[in-house]
Every structure is written in structure tokens, then in C-alpha cells.
């Protein structure tokens, strides 16, 4: 317990000390305290801005996110790798999903219109958009595939809004489900993909193909996803395969790093993807309709019937281009 009389005596000493000072020192002391608070506050603001400055619309997630870390040169190969890769690459293609299942990615700021977005699936738990005014730019549209995927990044608010089966009817937005993830987080959380990966995570971006460099792990989908089994960093699975060569969600694939890409007749787009697969690999994140497909950003400015000029100049011929010059049999599943 405290002693009230002792506290009163202490306050009296403090009061006497204060009023014993010349008034000009009152001002000086106040200004010193104000300056110190301003410096401390400024330092806090600077630290906060510095912490989040590394994660942007163009370069999302924390630097130590699984998406932003390279694969160690001495990484061990899964004992079942050969069988899993044989099944996943049985048609010699990994399909570039650039249009029907290409991911439309939009930026938002404080001027972007806000909407109440309801989830039509209610038995999965609370809707991630509940209680939020969700920014969705005018003209935004999900892709035309059955996933109805769409991503909106509010960089100022440090949020990624991820929609699964998004719909706009009469100016009102709904989604079957989705996720809201921190832009500077790990890139894993929520239910916008079967594995819990962020829908923004690992997508091959248009600007990356244009500059010929991808500095993050990619993401793939397969028609042979293990039922009931997943690996970190995945947090769940929607797999249904009981085959011994199934791919678990969260598994990381890479292209054999001893493969000399300069000896291959690759398009510039294939070379960019292959180099990223050697350095960063690709995470298995969802069920797909083909043996293996890869997520690309949808070019929302491309005319109807086109995959977009950047993709075309890089040698991609159509939606679901199989990137067949890459020797897909040289993929490996990391243990």
C-alpha cells in the first residue's frame, strides 16, 4: 500500500522545486521536454515507417517471409521427389495462368471507394471482411475463372484484401470467402487459397517479366494434392488425393540448380521463371485442374483475347502456355 502522507510530502517538495525556479527556466524546461517528446515521437514514426517500408504493392511481405527467402544450396531432396515430379510433369508442361485464372491485382488509397463485403459461405467461420469498409477501385473485376479471385492492396493501411469468388451485383460486392492479411506479414493466413497462402503471394508479376527478374518464390497448383497432409508454411489443405505420389500443400519445389540455363533455347519469359525457380522455388498452394500450373498476374489493361503485350514480348503465346522449353522433369521437391 502507498503512504498518502509521504506522497503529499513528495509532491510538496516537487512543487517547491518548480516554483523556486525563475519563470524563464520554466519555459526552457517545457521546451526541452517538448523537444525530447518530439524527437522520441519522430524516431518512433521513422522506425514504424522503416519497418513497413520494405513491404510494398510491388514487393510484398516481410524480408523473412518464406516467399522472400532463397533455397539453401545444400537443401535436402524429398525421398519421394522423383515420383511426385513424374506425376506432376507427366505432360511436360507447367501452365502459365495468365488470363482465365490470372490474378487481378489492384492498388487502393484513401480516395478509393469503400464497400461492405459480405461472405456467402457462413459455415467456415467469421467473414474476414466483417466490420471493415473494404477498398475496391472503380472498374475492379475478379478473373473469369471459377475461383473468381481478386486482390486489392491498401499499402497505406498495410492490408491485403483477398477475395475468393468475388461478385459485384448492382454496385454491391460479395465473396464466397477470402482473407485480409498484413502487407508486411509472412504471406500465409486466411482462406483465400486452399493452403492458407496469401492470394498475392508468389504471383508472377507483369513488371517482373518485363524487367526479366523475379526476386521471390512462385506458387503452383496441381490436380494431385494430398488429402489431409500439408507442410509448413501451409496452414491447411483442400487436397483430396490418396496417391503415394501426391503433392502436399506447402511443399516447395525448385528447378535443379545445377541446370545451366544458358544451354537451353528459352524465351525471355521462360528464362525469368526458370531462374526464379532455381533460386527461390515455388510453393504448392492449391488444387488445380491440370497436373501443374503457375499463378501469373492478370494484365487488366490487355484487350479482349490478348494476354497482354508484356507477356507476348516475353514469348508467352496464349493463356496456359506450357513453358515447354523448361525441362520440367528437373524439378525437385525439397524435403
Together in a domain, 182 and 86: no
E strand intervals along the chain? 95-97, 105-108, 114-115, 118-119, 134-135, 150-154, 159-169, 172-182, 218-222, 225-230, 247-249, 252-255, 282-287, 293-295, 331-333
Tens of pLDDT along 50-71?
234 589 999 999 999 999 999 9
23: confidence class by pLDDT, cuts 50, 70, 90:
very low
Together in a domain, 116 and 171: yes
Stronger pLDDT, 246 or 37, i.e. the higher one: 246
Residue 33 scores a pLDDT above 80: no
Which whole number is the average pLDDT over 163-176? 97
Domain-located, residue 271: yes
Which whole number is the average pLDDT over 312-322? 98
Which of 199, 232, 250 is where one domain is finished?
A: 199
Which whole number is the average pLDDT over 279-287? 98
Report the percent of the chain where pLDDT is more than 90: 84
Report d(CA 243, CA 261) in Å as an integer: 32
Together in a domain, 229 and 87: yes
- Give the residue carrying C-alpha cell 497432409: 229
Together in a domain, 220 and 236: yes
Q: What is the DSSP string of 135-154?
A: E--TT----SSTT--EEEEE
3-state secondary structure of 4: helix
Together in a domain, 110 and 248: no
- Give the residue carrying C-alpha cell 517500408: 53
What residues make up the domain containing 69?
Answer: 63-102+201-335
Together in a domain, 209 and 67: yes
Which whole number is the average pLDDT over 270-288? 98
Beta bridge partners of 249: 230
Domain-located, residue 58: no
Q: How many domains does the chain have?
A: 3
For the whole model, what pTM was predicted? 0.84
Together in a domain, 213 and 282: yes
**pLDDT for 30:** 36
Which whole number is the average pLDDT over 295-310? 97
Residue 184 scores a pLDDT above 50: yes
**pLDDT for 92:** 97
Together in a domain, 132 and 206: no
**pLDDT for 54:** 80
Together in a domain, 192 and 119: yes
Dihedral pair phi/psi, residue 182, rounded to 5°? -70, 135
Residue 14 scores a pLDDT above 80: no
Domain-located, residue 92: yes
Together in a domain, 238 and 330: yes
Which of 180, 199, 218 is where one domain is finished?
A: 199
Residue 261 scores a pLDDT above 70: yes
Domain-located, residue 57: no
Contacts of 43 (CB under 8 A, 6+ apart): none
Together in a domain, 194 and 330: no
Which of 199, 219, 248 is where one domain is finished?
A: 199
**pLDDT for 26:** 41
Together in a domain, 287 and 306: yes
Amino acid at each position: 500500500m502507498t503512504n498518502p502522507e509521504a506522497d503529499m510530502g513528495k509532491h510538496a517538495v516537487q512543487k517547491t522545486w518548480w516554483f523556486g525556479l525563475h519563470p524563464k527556466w520554466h519555459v526552457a524546461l517545457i521546451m526541452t521536454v517538448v523537444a525530447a517528446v518530439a524527437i522520441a515521437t519522430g524516431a518512433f514514426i521513422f522506425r514504424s515507417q522503416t519497418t513497413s517500408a520494405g513491404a510494398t504493392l510491388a514487393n510484398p511481405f516481410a524480408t523473412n517471409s518464406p516467399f522472400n527467402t532463397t533455397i539453401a544450396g545444400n537443401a535436402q531432396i524429398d525421398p519421394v521427389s522423383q515420383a511426385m515430379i513424374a506425376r506432376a510433369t507427366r505432360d511436360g508442361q507447367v501452365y502459365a495462368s495468365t488470363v482465365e485464372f490470372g490474378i487481378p491485382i489492384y492498388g487502393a488509397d484513401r480516395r478509393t471507394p469503400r464497400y461492405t463485403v459480405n461472405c456467402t459461405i457462413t459455415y467456415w467461420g467469421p467473414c474476414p471482411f466483417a466490420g471493415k469498409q473494404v477498398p475496391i477501385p472503380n472498374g475492379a473485376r475478379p478473373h473469369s475463372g471459377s475461383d473468381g479471385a481478386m486482390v486489392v492492396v491498401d499499402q497505406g493501411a498495410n492490408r491485403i484484401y483477398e477475395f475468393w469468388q468475388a461478385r459485384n451485383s448492382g454496385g454491391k460486392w460479395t465473396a464466397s470467402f477470402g482473407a485480409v492479411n498484413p502487407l508486411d506479414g509472412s504471406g500465409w493466413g486466411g482462406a483465400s487459397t486452399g493452403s492458407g497462402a496469401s492470394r498475392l503471394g508468389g504471383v508472377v508479376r507483369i513488371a517482373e517479366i518485363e524487367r526479366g527478374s523475379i526476386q521471390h518464390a512462385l506458387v503452383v497448383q496441381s490436380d494431385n494434392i494430398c488429402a489431409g497432409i500439408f507442410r509448413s508454411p501451409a496452414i491447411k489443405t483442400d487436397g483430396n488425393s490418396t496417391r503415394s505420389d501426391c503433392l502436399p500443400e506447402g511443399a516447395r519445389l525448385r528447378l535443379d540448380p545445377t541446370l545451366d540455363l544458358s544451354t537451353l533455347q528459352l524465351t525471355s519469359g521462360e528464362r525469368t521463371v526458370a531462374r526464379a525457380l532455381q533460386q527461390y522455388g515455388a510453393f504448392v498452394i492449391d488444387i488445380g485442374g491440370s497436373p501443374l500450373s503457375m499463378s501469373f498476374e492478370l494484365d487488366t489493361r490487355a484487350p479482349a483475347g490478348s494476354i497482354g503485350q508484356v507477356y507476348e514480348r516475353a514469348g508467352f503465346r496464349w493463356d496456359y502456355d506450357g513453358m515447354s522449353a523448361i525441362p520440367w522433369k528437373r524439378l525437385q521437391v525439397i524435403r
